[in-house]
Amino acid sequence: MNMISETRQKSLLYLENVSVSFDGFKALNSLSFVVEPGELRAIIGPNGAGKTTMMDIITGKTRPDTGTVLFEDTIDLTKRDEADIAQLGIGRKFQKPTVFESHTVWDNLELALNRSRGVFATLFYTLSAEDKARIEEILETIRMTHRKNEYAANLSHGQKQWLEIGMLLAQEPKLLLVDEPVAGMTDAETAETAVLLKEIAKTRSVVVVEHDMGFIRELGVKVTCLAEGSVLAEGSIDFVSNDPKVIENYLGR
């Protein structure tokens, strides 16, 4: 008991016995999962394992039937909605890149910037020198300075993914949830994305859901394998990929 409460206190994100079902289908089955501050974690698992549902629960899109979801040990995320949770410092990247296509790259980042988000604050907002510098810094990080005035609709698939990651950085989250960041990317883009995510993880916690085993190997971090709504195995990539249950359920023989 003592050990559990200690893990909980140290955790950034703490899920315990979380279950949720849709029309009788158990998407999550007493899932427990802990992310520590500053940790970069990869999640793998077959389709329907509950990876996206888990993200939906953390970000307030779906309410769990039972279980505990705590942020920084004290904040009960099951009682908050998406906007609240985003403001607490949890950012989310969707599976399909979701950026504002009819805005420029710059405007996309300006909107994402962690500033007051009320109606009147945004109506009377003017870009300060500090905000400008911050946006330029993010443009450098995601390597898109030369395309800052381009409409997001005209970006390539890989660039949209990076722009979305840039928007999450602008949000200054403590925890970043990234759903399949390298789906549809070229090998070169995939390698660059791994570098980018590792850089981001230096200052915050990142949880990456991915199918690309090569990419996960490149990240070189602790891996959690989900199947049928609960944790199947957890550990280093070599440990997990040699686990017979993981091979059976996910990797295939």
Partner 1 sequence: MISGFVFRALEGRIVAAVGILLGIGILVPALNLLTPPDSAIHIPTYAMALFGKYLCYALLALALDLVWGYCGILSLGHGAFFALGGYAMGMYLMRQIGPRGVYGNPILPDFMVFLNYKELPWFWHGFDWFIFAMAMVIVVPGLLAFIFGWFAFRSRVNGVYLSIITQAMTYALLLAFFRNDMGFGGNNGLTDFKDILGFSVQADGTRAVLFFMSALMLSLCLILASAIVRSKFGKVLVGVRDAESRVRFLGFRVENIKLFTFVVSAMMAGIAGALFVPQVGIINPGEFAPANSIEVVVWTAVGGRGTLIGPIIGAILVNGGKSFFTGAFPEIWLFALGGLFIAVTLFLPKGIVGTIQHGLKARHALKAAADAEKGRGDATTVAQAQAAE
Contact by Cβ (8 Å): 143, 161 = no
Question: Is residue 86 close enough to count as binding partner 1 by CB under 8 A?
Answer: yes
Distance separating alpha carbons of residues 155 and 167, to the nearest angstrom: 15
State which of positions 98-127 bind partner 1 (CB under 8 A): 98-103, 107, 110-112, 114, 117-119, 122-126
Distance separating alpha carbons of residues 153 and 127, to the nearest angstrom: 23
Q: Which helix (H) or strand (E) segment is 118 a member of?
A: none
Q: Dihedral angle at the C-alpha atoms of 116, 121, 122, 124, nearest 10 degrees?
A: -140
CB of 253 to partner 1, least distance (A): 39
CB of 109 to partner 1, least distance (A): 11
Q: How many residues make contact with partner 1 (CB under 8 A)?
A: 29
If the CB atoms of residues 110 and 243 are measured against partner 1, the closer one turns out to be: 110
What type of residue is 135?
I
Q: Which residue, 177, 107, 175, is CA-closest to 144? A: 107
Largest Cα separation within the chain, whole Å, is 60
Exactly one of 6, 65, 76, 82 binds partner 1 (CB under 8 A); which one? 82
CB of 133 to partner 1, least distance (A): 17
If the CB atoms of residues 209 and 237 are measured against partner 1, the closer one turns out to be: 209
CB of 2 to partner 1, least distance (A): 36
Count of CB atoms within 10 A of residue 98's CB? 12
If the CB atoms of residues 94 and 213 are measured against partner 1, the closer one turns out to be: 94
DSSP assignment of 58-69 equals: HTTSS--SEEEE
If the CB atoms of residues 36 and 94 are measured against partner 1, the closer one turns out to be: 94
**Chain length of the chain:** 253
- Which of the stretches 41-49, 91-99, 213-221, 239-247 binds partner 1 when contact is defined by CB under 8 A? 91-99
State which of positions 221-250 bind partner 1 (CB under 8 A): none
If the CB atoms of residues 30 and 100 are measured against partner 1, the closer one turns out to be: 100
Tokens found for residue 250: 């996910």
By three-state DSSP, how is residue 101 classified? coil
Site residues (vs partner 1, CB under 8 A): 59, 82-83, 86-87, 91-92, 94, 98-103, 107, 110-112, 114, 117-119, 122-126, 167, 171
